Structure formats: structure tokens, C-alpha cells
Amino acid sequence: MSETLIHVASGKVRELFTIDDDRLLLVASDRISTFDVVLPTEIPDKGRVLTGLSAFWFARTRDVCANHLLELRPDGGSTECRRLEMLPLECVVRGYLAGSGWKDYQRTGSTSGHALPRGLQESGRLPEPIFTPSTKATSGHDENIDSGRAMELVGRERYEEVEQTSLALYRFAAEHAAAHGILIADTKFEFGLDADGRLVLADEAFTPDSSRFWPADDYTPGGSQPSFDKQFVRDYCEALGWDKTPPGPELPEDVVAGTRARYLDAFERLTGIAFAEYLADPTVVT
Ligand code: Q0Z
């Protein structure tokens, strides 16, 4: 058996290859981005941590929604996935008010068509999680859209299905993570359809790259929160006075080591599995 991989897409820090008509290979690199710029310095094992976390969540949410994961490769940093017809929607769930949700709320009192109570604070917990879809921008930032616009993109029934599924996935993971000291402020899913038209969770799930993770211990609404994984990198970049345009700065050894430790800490807290165990046999998370 031999496989010729054809490169089909590049994300900021991941690569996608075709294996055959039915399967893709998703490779997570050790690259890290901050302020939307990929830095020249890698964080060793970051790709394995994120791949392992996704596989962990895919295994635990399979009764909530089917997912694209077929096989975790022995390297721990890449997965074989079912090839799907992707929906043209970024499915965002917010449990807390941060990022573009907070910006929308300050301007308009609502976000993605959800009228919110007055007096919410930055990073404040929402009365209940909300589904705030956005469009996939080919360049620049995704644009938040309301349910009417999202229904035009995928149809009303499919919209209602992705909304309910997204909320159920978020509730499950946010409750698990909070019990282990991590708040999932918000998260982004991508869904696709299989050959029978069934909804399938694709891409990555509840990784620190697709979600805002906050350390629960330090949670103080009324301002921005430190990021669980990238705060050392951001603090270092801010202290440098870098103007946040490419190229980004090289990271010093201590920032790399501290950031790597944060990724491993998130992995071990959320999975309850030692990262060394994962490296020895990635299937332990599934
Ligand atoms: C995901 C992306 C990239 C990572 C296409 N199971 C699937 N079936 C069909 N298409 C996709 C998937 Cl995951 C798909 N993306 C986004 C691009 C690295 C994710 F380069 N694009």
C-alpha cells in the first residue's frame, strides 16, 4: 500500500493533504500565531498537543455529533479524516463576552442578532451560551452574521441543526473544562456533510487555537483575560514594542519553554492523561 499525498490547503499553522477521494490528512504544525501573525519560532509539541486534544474531544462527543476523525497517526500530530462537503459557515458559540462579541455588544447591545441584557462586562459570563455564526472570510477577519443571513447560506433546517448541535457540544466541553480549571470563553466549529447528507463535525474541536481558554483561577470579569496558552507570547511581543505587522519576532528560549509548558498543562488537565503517555501511544486519548 502506498500513498501519494496531494497538498490541498494551508491554514496559518496547519496543512491539509488529500489521501484519496474519501480521506484527507490534517497535519498540525508546531507553528504559533499571535495578533494574526505566524511567528518564526516554533513551540515544540504544540501540534501534537492540539491534535491530541481534538481527538480527545471527538471521542467524547461522538454521541452528540458524528465527527470526521478516522485515525490518529502514530506521530500524534496528524489525523486521517473523512472528506466532507463543508458548510460555508463558521459556527461560533460564546459562553462569555470577549473579542468581536464584546466589540459588537459595546456598539449595539447585541451580537449576531442576540439582544443581550444591559450592563454586561467585558469577559462577563453570558446568561446562557449563544450561537454567533460568522462567514468564512477568504482574507481578513470572519464577519459575524445573524441567523437570517446564516439560514440563507445553509437553509433553515440545517441552520437549526448546526445551532443546536454547536450549543450541545459547547455545553458538554465547557462543563468538563471548568471542572478542570479551564474556562472555554468561546469556540469555533466547522461542520461538513457526508455522502448521505448527515451533519459531521470536522476540523479541530476545543483546542486553544479554535477556542479562548482562560485559567479559571484568575478569572476576573470587567477587563480582558489572560490567554491560557499564548499570554507569555503576547506579553513578550507587547514589551518588545513590535508593531504587529509581519514578520513577527523570534521568541527567546524562556518564552518558548513557558508557552510549551502551558500547552502541556492544558492537555494534561483536560484529558487527565500525562503527555508522555500520549506520545508513547496517541490512541490513549480516544
Ligand atoms: C477543512 C483547513 C487547512 C486545516 C477544508 N473533513 C474535511 N473535509 C473536507 N474539507 C475539510 C475537512 Cl476538515 C477542510 N478546511 C480548513 C485548511 C488546514 C483546516 F489548510 N478546509
Nearest to 246 by CA among 43, 42, 36: 36
With a Cβ cut-off of 6 Å, ligand 1 is lined by: 9-11, 14-16, 24, 26, 68, 81-84, 86, 192, 202-203
Which three-class secondary structure string do you get for the chain? CCCCCEEEEECCCEEEEECCCCEEEEEECCCCEECCEECCCCCCCHHHHHHHHHHHHHHHCCCCCCECEEEECCCCCEEEEECCEECCCEEEEEEECCHHHHHHHHHHCEECCEECCCCCCCCCEEEEEEECCEECCCCCCCEECCHHHHHHHHCHHHHHHHHHHHHHHHHHHHHHHHHCCEEEEEEEEEEEECCCCCEEEECCCCCCCCEEEEEHHHCCCCCCCCCCCCHHHHHHHHHHCCCCCCCCCCCCHHHHHHHHHHHHHHHHHHHCCCHHHHHHCHHHHC
- Planar angle of CA 230, 226, 271, nearest 5 degrees: 65
CA of 124 to the centre of ligand 1 (A): 32
Task: pLDDT tens for the chain, 286 residues: list them.
Answer: 667 899 999 999 999 999 999 999 999 999 999 999 999 999 999 999 999 999 999 999 999 999 999 999 999 999 999 999 999 999 999 999 999 999 999 999 999 999 999 999 999 999 999 999 999 887 778 899 999 999 999 999 999 999 999 999 999 999 999 999 999 999 999 999 999 999 999 999 999 999 999 999 999 999 999 999 999 999 999 999 999 999 999 999 999 999 999 999 999 999 999 999 999 999 999 9
Residue 203 alpha carbon, nearest atom of ligand 1: 13
Write the CB contacts of 268 (distance below 8 Å, at least 6 apart in sequence): 274, 275
CA of 65 to the centre of ligand 1 (A): 18
Q: What is the CA radius of gyration of the chain?
A: 19
From the centroid of its chain, how far is CA 232?
A: 19
CA–CA distance, 47 with 49 (Å, rounded to integer) = 5
Residues in the chain: 286
Choice from 203, 204, 207, 210 to test ligand 1 binding pocket (greatest atom count within 8 A of CB) = 203
- Rounded to a whole number, what is the largest CA-CA distance in the chain? 61
